[in-house]
Chain A
């Protein structure tokens, strides 16, 4: 059974601070996705990383996939209150399997 350990589980920071969320596994994933979920809504895809060592940027968000494709990180620069939400990582094992393995999520609160 593949597992994704996501940390921290909760994060409360002041507006303007930087933060990093980690997603780690002992398993190799074909790709890894980061989602953001708002209350009462389903997860919304932010980015997919596919290649080991890949770095993708989405405005103030930087996503990195580990060289061995077992871990990933999400770094937010100068957090804004609008960044508040639940961030989820999810891995795809590939090999014809479409099911996603999710981490438990990181609940981020950015205080104005």
Chain B
């Protein structure tokens, strides 16, 4: 079974440009998450989709970030316009939706996209 895949693996852009990151979750996983790790900091939650709906976007830094998951399959995270502080590694994760109360399904992480904004 294929794991979570992310594209591209690396992206180097200039300040002010636009970048779109893509995540393909494990097939059948309704839950999709975006996380980010900036240098020297911990991995931080950005947002959570259940199928195509945004369940929790409390971690999104500002309105320069737009996440979509049309059709409830793959997801994209667009940064427009990119700023220097957006540099970091963006991880996508997915999990099943067991439907069990008070139980967090295991989140499987992709390899990440390393974004460098110059």
Contact = CB atoms under 8 A, between A and B. Distances in A.
Contacts of B104: 30-31, 48, 92, 94, 98, 100
Contacts of B55: 98
A104 interface: yes
B59 interface: yes
Is the interface on chain A under 10, 10 to 19, 20 to 34, or 35 or more residues? 20 to 34
B25 to A, nearest CB: 12
Contacts of A103: 42
Contacts of B26: none
Contacts of A105: 42
Contacts of A35: 109
A104 B42 contact: yes
Is the interface on chain B under 10, 10 to 19, 20 to 34, or 35 or more residues? 20 to 34
- Interface of chain A: mostly helix, strand, loop or mixed: strand
Nearest to A5: B42
A15 B5 CA distance: 34
Interface string B66-107: 000000000000000000000000010101000000101011
Interface string B32-52: 010100000111110010000
B33 A99 contact: yes
A104 to B, nearest CB: 5
B102 A102 contact: no
A45 interface: yes
A94 B31 contact: no
A88 B89 CA distance: 15
Contact of B109 (A43, A95, A97, A104): A43
A40 interface: yes
A97 B111 contact: no
A95 B103 CA distance: 9
Contacts of A4: 42
